[in-house]
Amino acid sequence: MSERLEALKKARQRMIEDRDTHVKVLAAPFDRDKAERARNKFIEIQALIDALDSAIAEKKSSRQKAEPRRKATHNISPTLNAVLRYAS
């Protein structure tokens, strides 16, 4: 896995942990000031997690496009294998 993809995944995991902290505040007995701050941070962090998810998906798809696909030729007849090689 690439270093960039690994960094994105680690950042996402940290943001999930941070978000969970704010969820605990929201689930606790109501304190208007704390709840409002926790709600705003939750929304902010969730937007960041969504952006990280998008970056991870983009990185994975660009990696797949960069890697040439191998043709499965090991379970076919030698004649068909030759035809497929000739056609490519």
pTM: 0.69
18 CB contacts (<8 Å, ≥6 apart)?
A: 45
Instruction: Give me the mean pLDDT over the 12-32 stretch.
Output: 95
Checking if the pLDDT of 87 tops 70, the result is no
What percentage of the chain has pLDDT greater than the value 90? 62
- Is the distance from CB of 62 to CB of 11 less than 8 angstroms? no
CA 84/CA 71 separation, integer angstroms: 9
Checking if the pLDDT of 32 tops 90, the result is yes
Q: How far is CA 36 from CA 14, 40, 43, 46, 48, in A?
A: 22, 6, 11, 15, 19
